[in-house]
Amino acid sequence: MKKVSVRTMWHGKYVSVSEEEFEDAKRMGGLEIVHDGDVMQILPEELSRLTPNPKIYKCKYKKGRTYRLVDIVFKPEDIRQTKLNLN
């Protein structure tokens, strides 16, 4: 599972990941998004239903590089109880 940390949430509910990170996550068996300490996991079946935004952006840091974004509704999981190990 690919882990991605995002800093910005759009309209109070969307996070964006690059198309490159999105494709890596499909190959690695899922995507884990972390925003402000909250975590959301997306399974491969759910990733297959998402598509990149058609708008192409120019990279500020690598001249000539372009990328697209995948916008995802951020629904964090309550992991406080799921991480509890009673061994």
The pTM of the full predicted model, rounded to 2 decimals, is 0.79
Query: pLDDT per residue over 46-62, tens digit each?
Result: 999 999 999 999 988 88
72 found inside a domain: yes
86 falls within a domain: no
When divided into structural domains, the chain yields a total of 1
| Model pLDDT, residue 62 | 83
What pLDDT is stored for residue 79 in this prediction?
58
- Asked if residue 14 belongs to a domain, the reply is yes
Q: What is the pLDDT of residue 86?
A: 53
How confident is the model over 9-50, as pLDDT tens digits? 999 999 999 999 999 999 999 999 999 989 999 999 999 999
When the pLDDT of each residue in the chain is averaged and rounded to a whole number, the result is: 88
Q: Is residue 67 part of a domain?
A: yes
Residue 6, domain extent: 2-78
Of 83, 82, 43, the residue nearest 72 (C-alpha)? 43
Task: Say whether pLDDT at 82 is over 60.
Answer: no
